[in-house]
Amino acid sequence: MKLLNSTGRRSGFTLMETLLAIGLVGVLLSMFLTVFVPARGMVHQALNRQEAERIAGILRAEMSILRPDEQAGEGATTASDGQFLSPFDKGFFWLQHSRTPANAIVVYSYRADTTKSQRADGTYPTVPASRNVPGQGNQLVSIACPLNDPLHKDQIKDAVGPVFLVKMTQIVDAGGGKYELAGNPGSINGAASPDKYVSSPDDKNPWGGAIIYRADFYHMSPPNPARYKGKSWKRLGRPMFSVNLSFRR
């Protein structure tokens, strides 16, 4: 009579082997997170810095040029045909008009309709967001202009990406190698008009050729100019980012 062997080999892991495997996976995961999470944060910060520099560059470039037939705002020092005398006069006027959000400068991108004729200042009209198809008779452009600019204010609602409102505050020499912000946004120490913003060689506190200012960028949400009438900068809270800039004669 044959006896059946009931002592067959068992397959699988023991409890101890399972616990060791779980522990090893936990150690590897913690090492991965230690390396990956800070690296991801550094990449995110770098992208934020690049975007901030790009947006600030749009403002800097716009304040250093005069567009064809660009009309000066009411109260600005102008030539006989109603245009700014120079980019310095334009920058001077733009800084003064950032006293309140309703008159401040706005920076944004939009799709320009290249199938239509250019406007008086050399820019193309916008493609409405409802028929915004990338690459079809349009190109993405970036612009900085006063929020209440009659030529551009109606296209802000069709902006591509975030819209930023800019508060400009002059940075002045406080003496002893120190600098501080002027009293209020939009105020310029030294002269009430750009033609009087000059200095002499023996001036102890010269003004003259350049104005340094801090630009605070606020995310404009919703991008509707009418929503900002009567509002103060304080009501907008903290800016998204700030950059020190300047413009010269």
DSSP codes, 136-185: SSEEEEEEEEETT-TTTGGGGGG-SS--EEEEEEEEEEEETTEEEE-SST
Supply the pLDDT for residue 108: 93
Residue 122, in any domain of the structure: no
CA distance 62 to 87: 9
CB 185 within 8 A of CB 99: yes
Supply the pLDDT for residue 243: 93
pLDDT by 10s per residue, the chain, length 249 = 555 555 555 556 677 767 777 777 777 766 665 655 554 444 444 447 788 899 999 999 999 888 877 777 666 665 556 778 888 889 998 998 889 999 899 999 998 888 888 888 888 888 876 665 665 667 888 999 998 888 888 888 888 888 999 999 999 888 788 888 888 898 888 777 787 787 766 666 566 678 999 999 999 888 888 888 888 999 999 999 999 999 888
Residue 59, in any domain of the structure: yes
Supply the pLDDT for residue 115: 85
Residue 55, in any domain of the structure: yes
Supply the pLDDT for residue 200: 66
Mention every residue, 6+ apart, whose C-beta is less than 8 A from residue 212. 170, 171, 179, 244, 245, 246
Residue 52, in any domain of the structure: yes
Global confidence as pTM = 0.74
Residue 70, in any domain of the structure: yes
- Give the total number of structural domains in the chain: 1
Q: What is the DSSP letter of 210?
A: E
Which neighbouring-strand residues pair with 215? Answer: 168, 243
Residue 14 in tokens: 């023991």
Residue 168, in any domain of the structure: yes
Chain position carrying tokens 């934020």 = 48
Residue 37, in any domain of the structure: yes
Structural domain span for residue 22: 17-104+163-249
Residue 247, in any domain of the structure: yes
Residue environment code for 189-227, b if the CB has 16+ CB neighbours within 10 A, otherwise e: ebeeebeebeeeeeeeeebeeebebbbbbbebeebebee
